[in-house]
Amino acid sequence: MQAVSRRFGSQFSKPSPGISSLKSLYPISDHHYGADHPRYASSLATKGVGHLVRKGTGGRSSVSGIISAVFGATGFLGRYLVQQLAKMGSQVLVPFRGSEDSYRNLKLMGDLGQIVPMKYNPRDETSIKAVMAKANVVINLIGREYETRNYSFEEVNHFMAEQLAVIAKEHGGIVRFIQVSCLGASQSSPSRMLRAKAAAEEAIMRELPEATIMRPAVMIGTEDRILNTWAHFVKKYSFLPLIGDGSTKIQPAYVVDVASAIIAALKDDGASMGKLYELGGPEVFTVHQLAEIMYDTIREWPRYVNVPFPIAKAIATPREIFLKKVPFPLPTPSMFNLDLINALTQDTVVSPDALTFNDLGIVPHKLKGYPIEFLISYRKGGPQYGSTVSEKVSPDFDN
């Protein structure tokens, strides 16, 4: 028995050169990086995550074999993605930099121990490596459509994504890297955020050519930052400013469909690796048409104020000028965000030859109906208040 113990002890006491170099890159204890120990060894295939050693029937109490580090999990898209990952039996590492309340709602989405919150600092490589230590999938959802005193567009949307790709490459055990960008990302975009997103895509593909890039259009859902913003503004001021007369075309997508597309990419046995997908909804609207749908749902009489682009930019510019010149934080822009105003000067729709939801086997939801039912809460007389045009009874109904 002792001979057997000595034999196995010597077997595990001699780590491979690859593991030794990995440990030199990551100054973290063997508890995290015991990849030579069978308990921590990855069961993933060399390409994709289709061939996994699974346990169970595929539900929350099963084991999918995926250990996913979801950066930006506490945001809008993050909560839907974490729910779908946990639903298939994956362990989800949730990096957070705020208070413990930021991830509290996510812990209920998985079985016991499957949702693992991890405090980290996006500017600290060591804490990022600690999050990735036992992961085999990295999904980056980090992004912001406005600047703050502490974080610029370039740092949040470009440099953080590039840093994650570099660390994932050094890790050696990350088999899937998915970057969530934005539809319209381009180096020639008038929007700084979209230019930063395009630079992040280039940097990630340079470091990890087999990464998958997702470009979702503006996302609609219960916590969205477009219809909620409009409805709140209407309830407060009784009108809605239409920037640039509302003629800009957009192709909004339901947030649940975007989360489903990411899950489909993880399940496709590597077919989506190295590819870029543009995730737009099945319908194209002008901003004015989308506002009409919002008004129709909250059952308010439409009132608009057309704001030409030069005037909208003039209203939004003072915040950008004084953002880092005053000793206190300025309010977060809602309607008049200079970078979003610049983005609205161009249509944002899916390219004709792009890979889309359909290439991932996802049929996106149309906007009207369940995806925007959350707007019912803005009806001033309760859910049954008023009626829409389609619900009105014709005067000739009784004849």
Give me the CATH number covering residue 237. Answer: 3.40.50.720
Rg value, the chain, Cα: 24
First to last CA, the chain: 95
Domain assignment present for residue 95? The answer is no
Does residue 365 surpass a pLDDT of 60? yes
By the 10 Å C-beta count (0-12 exposed, 13-18 middle, 19+ buried), 272 is classed as buried
Domain assignment present for residue 86? The answer is no
Does residue 121 surpass a pLDDT of 90? yes
- Amino acid 54: pLDDT: 61
Q: Which residues contact 44 (CB under 8 A, 6 or more apart)?
A: 51, 52, 65, 136, 175
More confident residue, 32 or 175: 175
- Amino acid 28: pLDDT: 40
Domain assignment present for residue 319? The answer is yes
- Amino acid 67: pLDDT: 94
Task: Report the SS3 class of residue 212.
Answer: strand
- Amino acid 211: pLDDT: 97
Q: What is the pLDDT of residues 2-60, one digit of tens each?
A: 444 444 344 434 444 443 443 443 344 333 333 343 433 333 334 455 544 466 667 88
Q: Which structural domain, as residue segments, surrounds residue 251? A: 136-378
Q: Left, alpha or beta for 100 (phi > 0: left; psi -120 to 50: alpha)?
A: alpha
Residue 19 CA: distances (Å) to CA of 33, 52, 135, 207, 328: 8, 22, 15, 20, 47
Domain assignment present for residue 22? The answer is no
Work out the pLDDT band at 387, boundaries 50, 70, 90.
Answer: low
- Read off the pLDDT of each residue in 349-369 and give the average, rounded to a whole number: 96
> Domain total for the chain?
1
Domain assignment present for residue 267? The answer is yes
Domain assignment present for residue 81? The answer is no
Domain assignment present for residue 102? The answer is no
More confident residue, 81 or 47: 81
Percentage above 70 pLDDT, the chain: 82
Work out the pLDDT band at 166, boundaries 50, 70, 90.
Answer: very high
- Amino acid 63: pLDDT: 84
Nearest-angstrom CA–CA distance, 302 and 279: 30
- Amino acid 391: pLDDT: 53
By the 10 Å C-beta count (0-12 exposed, 13-18 middle, 19+ buried), 87 is classed as middle
Nearest-angstrom CA–CA distance, 284 and 269: 32
Mean pLDDT, the chain, whole residue set: 85
- Amino acid 381: pLDDT: 82
More confident residue, 19 or 271: 271
Domain assignment present for residue 279? The answer is yes
- Amino acid 31: pLDDT: 37
Picking from 73-82, 106-115, 186-195, which range would have the lowest pLDDT averaged per residue? Answer: 106-115
Does residue 315 surpass a pLDDT of 70? yes
- Amino acid 64: pLDDT: 84
